[in-house]
Chain A
Amino acid sequence: MSAVFEFSDEQREFRDMVRRFLETHSTETSVREWMDDDGGYDPAVWKDMAGQLGLQGLIVPEAHGGQGFGPVELAIVLEEMGHFLFGSPFLASAVLAVNALVEAGDEKAASDVLPAIASGEQIATLALCEAEGSWDPTSVTLSAKGGNGAFRLSGEKRYVLSGHVADVVLVAGRSEAGVSLFLVRGDAPGLERSPVPALDMTRKLATLRFDDVEATLVGEEGGAAASLSRALDRTTIALAAEQVGATQRCLDMAVEYAKDRFQFGRPIGAFQAIKHKCADMLLELESARSAAYYASFAAADAASGDDLEEITALTKGYCSEAFLQVAAENIQIHGGIGFTWEHAAHLYYRRAKSTDLLFGDAAHQRGRLAGRIGL
């Protein structure tokens, strides 16, 4: 993998373009406006993003109306979105649902659904987690009855990203053949969708209840556990990049404040107690960034022989803790002001813990990692 950590000029320009878009459309004011909205995002910005940048179709194959880019470009986008705390169904629709559909290898479902996701006209998500809170696809219990591609689902899904606004819901269910993936329309009869108050108010979650809901099988019946694991790993790597972007913003805020805030006649950043905290934040940030970049290059290079599961577990575990630590220290450096509702520090602190919990927390990831390093 000679090309690791080498971003091309095109990729650098692409990053600048995404950043400029978000600077305009994801200001703190707009983040706060949309976090108070039930839908959680600005449909006009969502539409512009599709029209001007085509980001919703970033990793959708060209054959299905997307741009056909890979994990490195995706990491670039999410790093920038994390930095600006961009509130939208992007992670749910353009990342998680697209990965699940692509990994399922079902051409018909892909051609039915992906073009509308890529164009931003429809929002999709994946419903995986249940009451136990496990992200392991093999633990799925939601009941799927039927055959010949037509199934009926009953049960409950939790923590579904953008679940209450999704037009298309991919659902992991258990049929007689095992864990399978199904496609359900957001307005299907028998599907009850309840927004839940989320720790991270900028990223909306819903509980979905299925009462004998009609569903279409995606991919092979009973064969979804492996493809869902791959899709989750790819999404997790992208999420790590988002964590890095947000971590960078927290450090920037802390350093800026440490230079401006005077106490005892000098900027607090002149005191070693603050300097050393900032240096440790830098160590966490840069190490997390190296991991997230490495993971995205590894995911892009299928031929590298890298163990993507090991790299994903390591990266997510590391980036989660780094983000949490830096977000917490950012509040500490700001002192009382950092603990107020008006300050942005808590928005990042919320994002830090919520991204840690999504797809398995740091301890869970280290548990996975331990199994792959000779223990």
Chain B
Amino acid sequence: MSDSVVSPDLDETVRGWLDENWDPGLSVEDWWQKVGRAGWAAPHFSPEEGGRGMPRNADARVRSIFAEHGALRPPGGLGLLMAAPTILRHGTEDQIDRHVTPILEGRTNWCQLFSEPGAGSDLAGLSTRAERDGDRWIITGQKVWSSMAHESDYGMLLARTDPDQPKHGGISWFAFALDQPGVTVRPLREMTGEIMFNEVFFDGAICEDRDLIGGMNNGWAVTQSTLFFERTGIGAGGGHAGFPKPGPKGGALGRLAGDAAGDEPEDRYRIVAFPHLIELARRTGRHEDPIVRDKLARLWSFIQTGAWNARRAKAEARHGGGGAIGSISKIAQTRIVKLSVEIAMDLIGAEGLVAEGEEARFVDAFLFAPASSIYGGTDEIQRNICAERILGLPREERADKGLTFAESTRRQQSMRGARA
């Protein structure tokens, strides 16, 4: 409202570019190639990285100007949010060419193959194995909570390459092609009724050695970058689902860009924006209710301080500080989501009993809200990160300290056995 987060020149530049380049008659594939090459897919990347050297928050603004213009928005998704910046930081020239450029041009869609049923928040407890076989790796194991894996071409895969090292030490990070024998993707239906997460099974699947990113057994360090991009991206309002989906599996590349631009985003249920709530308060006649007003003002305070935090982080980063603010951004985002759906459900009242019709989006958002404090690292893990890394509080005593992964697994089994 009072805060224009990016410079007004940006709007003009984007509009000028769209005036000259937007052509609804192009295929989605051709349009996205144009968009990617012009640096609009990731305007916050540097020009050498395929962006335009703009602030982090320029991305959201660029996307909304595309939408206002009626143009198909740049490709999005987890490849852009996490894989591309990770590979830019840890990959070789060859890896950057083969993976980052296709992401920026919407030619590949990515998912995260991190979580496992047996690991959860203890991410380094993962047991999916990658075993060397000449110049390739054989992958065996299972992943879970892999958002959009059923529509993805590649996965950011964490696998154990040395079980005889301490658990953080024997992990590697791979750019993994999903479309091959030995990979089974099984969608999981969530409490929202929708499908976003998947289980992914690997039974002798193959990854080329040239797709090992950041060096063997160095995956934990690479993962820290990915997780940083994830939590700061989510906190900054990134992590937008790409719509339509990038990549061949997404199925939109051959469509006309003009047709795709008019489609409704499928993930409508994930977002309750502040203006929706103001509109809803007025429509339900509750806008004079002091409790409603108080809650909405509180929510606006959370949203606005979040935006100011992001700007301040940027300014302080220029002076070599500002790390604290990035780490709180995901927790800050969680409370915005939770308060938003609480207000929405208050406002629609009894209509919340019904999951269809005009107000269904708010019911959907209510059902999705608990996910916000789980995905991207639970709130509990985020708070540990703040407490340990920013405030310097002592690390939690770890029961598997000093053990190799293999020893720690045996210990777990014997403890479970003793309990039974």
- CB-contact partner of A278 in B294, B296, B297, B393, under 8 A: B393
Give the one of B281, B282, B312, B396 with max A CB within 10 A. B312
Report yes or no: B301 in contact with A366, Cβ–Cβ below 8 A: yes
Q: Residues of A contacting B384 with CB < 8 Å?
A: 272, 275-276, 279
Q: State A313–B3 Cα separation when bound (angstroms).
A: 15
Q: Chain B residue with minimal CB distance to A276?
A: B383
Query: In the docked arrangement, what's the CA distance between A23 and B3, Å?
Result: 36
Does B119 sit within 8 A of A, measured CB to CB? no
Is A267's beta carbon under 8 Å from chain B?
yes
Given the known A-B contacts A6-B315, A272-B384, A307-B2, are A282 and B390 also in contact in the complex, defined by CB atoms under 8 Å?
A: yes
Taking a contact as CB atoms closer than 8 A, the residue among B316, B325, B328, B392 that contacts A255 in the complex is: B392
Residues of B within 8 A of A17 (CB): none
* Total count of chain B residues near the partner, CB < 8 A: 49
Answer whether A287 and B394 are a contact pair too, CB < 8 Å, given A276-B387, A314-B300, A375-B281.
no
Residues 328 to 375 of chain A near chain B (Cβ within 8 Å): 363, 366-367, 369-370, 373-375
Among A5, A280, A317, contact of B383 (Cβ-Cβ < 8 Å): A280
User: Which of B296, B308, B315, B318 has the most A CB atoms < 10 Å from its CB?
Assistant: B308
C-alpha spacing A363/B301, complex, angstroms = 12
| Interchain CB contact under 8 A, A266 and B297 | no
Residue B397 CB within 8 A of the other chain: yes
Report yes or no: A283 in contact with B380, Cβ–Cβ below 8 A: no
**Per-position binary interface string of chain A over residues 1-39, scored 1 when its CB falls under 8 Å from any chain B CB and 0 otherwise:** 010111000000000000000000000000000000000
**In the assembled complex, A154 has its CB within 8 A of some CB on chain B:** no
- For residue A289, give the distance in angstroms from its CB to the closest CB of chain B: 8
> Quick check: is A270 within 8 A (CB to CB) of the other chain?
yes
A-B Cβ contacts below 8 A, count: 146
Residues of A within 8 A of B392 (CB): 255, 259
A274:B393 contact, CB within 8 angstroms: yes
Contacts of B386 in A (CB 8 A): 278-279, 282-283
Inter-chain CA distance A272–B287, complex, in Å, is: 40
> Roughly how many angstroms separate A266 CA and B394 CA in the complex, as a whole number?
9
CA–CA, A88 and B393, complex, Å: 35
| B311 at the binding interface (Cβ < 8 Å) | yes
The secondary-structure label for the interface of chain A is helix
* Closest Cβ–Cβ distance, residue B48 to chain A (whole Å): 25
B173 smallest CB distance to A (angstroms): 27
A233-264: contact bitstring with B at CB < 8 Å (1 yes, 0 no)? 00000000000000000010001001100000
Of A41-49, A90-98, A290-298, which binds chain B?
Answer: A290-298
In the complex with contacts A270-B396, A287-B332, A290-B305, A366-B391 CB distance below 8 A: no
A370-B293 contact given A272-B384, A279-B391, CB 8 Å threshold: yes
Residues of the A chain whose Cβ atoms lie less than 8 Å from the Cβ of B278: 373-375
Whether A310 sits at the interface, judged by CB under 8 Å, is yes
Residues of A within 8 A of B380 (CB): 272, 276
Interface flags, B288-312, vs A, CB<8A=1, else 0: 0010011011101110111011011
The distance from the CB of B395 to the nearest CB of chain A, in whole angstroms, is 7
A288–B304 CA distance with the chains assembled, in angstroms: 11
The answer for the CA separation of A294 and B310 in the assembled complex, in Å, is 12
A187 at the interface (CB under 8 A from B): no
A323 to chain B, nearest CB (A): 14
Q: Which B residues, 336 to 383, have Cβ-Cβ distances below 8 Å to chain A? A: 380, 382-383
Smallest CB separation, B304 vs chain A (Å): 6
Task: Compute how far the CA of A267 lies from the CA of B391 in the bound complex, rounded to whole angstroms.
Answer: 14
How long is the Cα–Cα vector from A180 to B382 in the complex, in angstroms? 53
Q: Are A369 and B393 in contact (CB under 8 A)?
A: no
Interface string of A297-317 (1 = CB under 8 A from B): 010000001110011001001
Partner of A283, one of B318, B332, B394, B397: B332
Q: Which 8 A-B pairs have the closest CB atoms?
A: A275-B387, A279-B383, A366-B297, A5-B315, A370-B293, A279-B386, A290-B308, A269-B393
10 contacts between A and B (CB under 8 A): A259-B394, A267-B394, A278-B386, A278-B387, A278-B391, A282-B390, A287-B306, A293-B312, A306-B3, A314-B300
Residues of A within 8 A of B (CB): 2, 4-6, 251, 255, 258-259, 266-267, 269-270, 272, 274-276, 278-280, 282-283, 286-291, 293-294, 298, 305-307, 310-311, 314, 317-318, 363, 366-367, 369-370, 373-375
